[in-house]
Amino acid sequence: MRDPVNEPLGQAPPARPRRLRRIAVTVGLLAAAGAAFAGLRAVDWRQGGEPYAIARIERLPASPAPTAPNAAAAAAKTSMSQGTADADEIEADSGVKVVRSGGGGAGGAVVIDVPQALSLRLPPAPDKRLVEKTRFGLLPRLGADGARAAEVYSRPRLASEKLKAGAPRIAMLVGGLGLNPASTSDAIARLPAMISLGFAPYGDSLESQAAAAREAGHEILLQSPMEPITYPADNPGPHTLLTGASEAENLDSLLWQMGRFVGYAGIVNHLGGEYTADARAVTPTLAEIAQRGLFYVDDGSSPRSLARQIAPTLGLASATADAVVDADPAPAAIDAALARLEALARARGAAIGVATALPSSLDRIALWCAGLEARGVELVPVSAMTARAPGPAADAGR
Q: For the chain, percent helix, then strand, then coil, each to nearest 5?
A: 40, 15, 45
Report pLDDT digits (tens) over 290-327: 999 999 999 999 999 999 999 999 999 999 999 999 99
CA 257, 379, 115, 152 torsion-angle sign = negative
Q: Interior CA angle at 84 toward 78 and 85, to 5°?
A: 70
Smallest CA-to-CA distance from 336 within 344, 305, 191 is with 344
Mark whether 107 and 181 lie in a shared domain: no
Mark whether 94 and 169 lie in a shared domain: no
Is there a domain that residue 116 lies in?
A: no
Mark whether 84 and 154 lie in a shared domain: no
Mark whether 147 and 191 lie in a shared domain: yes
Is there a domain that residue 118 lies in?
A: no
Is there a domain that residue 165 lies in?
A: yes
Q: Which helix (H) or strand (E) holds 284?
A: helix 279-291
Is there a domain that residue 356 lies in?
A: yes
Range of the domain at 101: 79-111
For position 140, what pLDDT does the model report? 98
Mark whether 273 and 322 lie in a shared domain: yes
Q: Are 294 and 153 in contact (CB under 8 A)?
A: no
DSSP 9-63: TT-PPPPPPHHHHHHHHHHHHHHHHHHHHHHHHTB-GGGTT-B-------PPPPP
Mark whether 229 and 97 lie in a shared domain: no
Count of Cβ atoms closer than 10 Å to residue 350 Cβ: 17
The stretches in the chain having pLDDT less than 50 are 4-11, 19-21, 23-27, 29-48, 52, 63-87, 90-119, 394-398
Mark whether 205 and 141 lie in a shared domain: yes
Is there a domain that residue 24 lies in?
A: no
For position 312, what pLDDT does the model report? 96
For position 390, what pLDDT does the model report? 60
Looking up residue 330, the CATH number of its domain turns out to be 3.20.20.370
Smallest CA-to-CA distance from 305 within 282, 285, 328, 334 is with 282
Mark whether 94 and 233 lie in a shared domain: no
Mark whether 261 and 166 lie in a shared domain: yes
**HSE toward the beta carbon, residue 216, CA cutoff 13 A:** 22
Mark whether 178 and 317 lie in a shared domain: yes
Report pLDDT digits (tens) over 118-133: 445 788 899 999 999 9
Is there a domain that residue 9 lies in?
A: no
Is there a domain that residue 54 lies in?
A: no
For position 158, what pLDDT does the model report? 74
Mark whether 327 and 290 lie in a shared domain: yes
Q: What is the DSSP letter of 111?
A: -
Mark whether 161 and 85 lie in a shared domain: no
Is there a domain that residue 119 lies in?
A: no
In three-state secondary structure terms, 217 is coil
The count of structural domains within the chain is 2
